[in-house]
Structure formats: structure tokens, C-alpha cells
Structure 1
Amino acid sequence: MTAPDPDPYAKVRAELLELDRKHPEYGVKATLAGNLIGPASQDRPSVPPWRYLDKDSESGGNILPRAAAIELRYPVRFKNGGEDTASLSEMADMFRSTPEGIVAYYEIAVAAGAIEWDSDERCIRELQDPEAYVPRVFERWANRPDAKP
């Protein structure tokens, strides 16, 4: 029995990136998301992504360097059994926000009981079907005091 492939998307990703290299006018690389960008970072911290930008209580600086923190890839396990990977910067691009805005989104989703951090697997776990939480979480997120106009 062979071991499962740790990155089953590697071949497809390589082909898409080669296409982007040959034809940058297509903008293939800019459209990649989730597993097609890459697997979860092996060196990701044991804290949830919404804590990646936290300040250190002693030094006042970020716990992780910001540039590295926003690129760390983490797994997301969906209620329906699916799985994907994401990073704060990828989510910010997708949501037309900032990494800090994505942290706010995750915090609202946690408070709503929609997602949680699985510390054993170091992944975000979806607890509710998207139809049940996305509209109310997005409404709260879009109307938060620090949201961009």
C-alpha cells in the first residue's frame, strides 16, 4: 500500500504555473486559490489564523512577522467533508479586504458558532452549513465599525 500523496494538487499547480509563465496575459496565477496555490504550511503555529497578527504582551510587536504571518497557509475543513487551504492574504484578496479584515471576519464567525479552531489538527473546522451562517456573519462583518466604506 502506498502512502497518500501529501500534495495531490502539485502536478496541476505546476501545469497552471507553466501556462502562466508562457502566457502571462491569461492571468492564470492571479486566479488560483485554495489547494491550487499550495498545501498547508508545515511550520504554521498552533494558534488559529485570527491570532497570527496578535501583539506580544511584553514587546508590543507582532507575535509573528506580519509579512510571513499573512502568507502562512492553513487547512479549512468544511462541514460537508470537503477540505481546502487558505492564507490571510489570499482571503483578503478574495474578500477585497485586508488581512486584519479577515481576522475580524474569522472572529465574528467564531463568536457566531460557525467555525472553530481544531488545535489537534491545526485547522479551521466549519461547524454549520454555510447557508446557516454566511449571510449573518457577512452582514456583521460588513457593518463593523472599522470596515472600509
Structure 2
Amino acid sequence: MNKNLFRISPIVLTIALITGCILHNNVFNTPDIVLKKDGQLCISIPENENFFYSKKEYSILTTEVFQTGNGQLWKKNYFYPSEPYYVKNQECLYFNYHFQNNIFYTISFISTEKGNNENQKSTQKTWIRFVRIIKKQDGTMQLLLDAEASGYS
């Protein structure tokens, strides 16, 4: 029985690795978001996106802002070679949108590492995060993310 287990283990391990890789590619990535002093958001690709923590350049393909119940509020595409948009990890992305208080937003963008064929979907990453900016009783602004943002009333 143990010999059969040793014969099957490499096959099971290979299938598990392949399945894990396929599932991992379908999962959305989580960008870093912080609240700046002016009350607006700094949305960036996290430092740990690169295994060696070096500054890589990423090509941003599209950026979007959605509001539950209202749909898409803003979108910008950077598909055209004449207007590429490159950022490094931890660099604020340009979202030409004025975020308001106490509105539940969905922020999303698509990136690929600079130099990769941007037409290949396998090199693209989709980034999504749920946010809400609230004004506390003392007048300061607070950023709520994900479940905390969606559950705030």
C-alpha cells in the first residue's frame, strides 16, 4: 500500500500545483490605499508585489471608480502606445476623481509589468479594493477599507 502511495504522490502534487496556479491567477489583487492630508486617496501597487522588494515599473492599462447603486463614476484607459502610463510599486496612481465623504466606492485598475506584452491576459493583474472616507466627530478624516467600508452606516 505504501508503494502505491509513493507512486501516486507526484501526480497528486503536480495536479495540486497546477490547480493552485490557475486559481491564483483568477484572484483579484489588493492595492495599497492610504488617505492623504488633502482627504484624497493614494492608491498604489504594494511594495511586496515584487519578491525582492525592488522598485519595478508597471504599465497601467485602465483605472476605474464605481459606486454601489450608481455604477461606474470614472474610467481612464491607457491602451494606446502614444500615451503609456508607468508607475513603480508604492507610487500613487493618478485617479482624476474627487472622492467624497461617506460614499462606498470600488476602486479598480489593471496592470502588467513594464516590458511584458500588454495584449497577453496572462501577464495582467486586476486590482480591486472597497473604500469609504468618513469624517469623524472630531473633524478628522478616516479611511475605511473592504468589509469595514461596506459595513459602515
Q: By percentage of residues, which structure has more helix?
A: 1
If asked which structure has higher relative contact order (CA below 8 Å, sep 6+), I would say 2
TM-score when normalising by structure 2:
0.25
